[in-house]
Amino acid sequence: MIKKILRPILITLIQLIVLVIIHNALYRLYPMNHTSVAFGITNLLPIPALDGGRILFIIPELIFRKRVPAKYENFIHFVGFVLLIGFMIYVTFQDIFNPITIP
C-alpha cells in the first residue's frame, strides 16, 4: 500500500529535480548566448579589418560590377586594423590607469 502511494511522489520528485537541473543549465548558458550575439553584431560593423569592412567592398562591386583594386583594399584594411588595435590598446590602458570606482 505504501509503495503505491510513494510511487507518484517519487516520480514528481524526480521530475522536479530534472526540471531544476535543466533550468540551472539554461540559466548558465544565457550569458554565453548574449556574448555570442554581441560579438556577431560587432563583427558586422563597417570597420575595415572586420567582416563588415569586407561588406563595404562588396557593395560597390555589386553596384558598379567592378572590383576595388586589391592594393587600395589592402591599404584600407591595414589602416583599419592599425586603428582598431590602437583603439584596443587605448581602452586597455584607460582601464588599467583609470579603473571604474564604485562609490
pLDDT digits (tens, 9 = 90+) for 56-88: 888 888 899 898 888 988 898 899 889 989 999
* pLDDT of the residue at 5: 66
* pLDDT of the residue at 4: 66
* Under 8 Å between Cβ of 46 and 84: no
Residue 30 grid cell:
544565457
What is the Cα–Cα distance from 83 to 89, expressed in whole angstroms?
Answer: 10
Look-up: residue for cell 583609470?
98
What is the Cα–Cα distance from 97 to 94, expressed in whole angstroms?
Answer: 5
Helix (H, G, I), strand (E, B) or coil at 11: helix
Q: Report the predicted TM-score, pTM, of the whole model to 2 decimal places.
A: 0.58
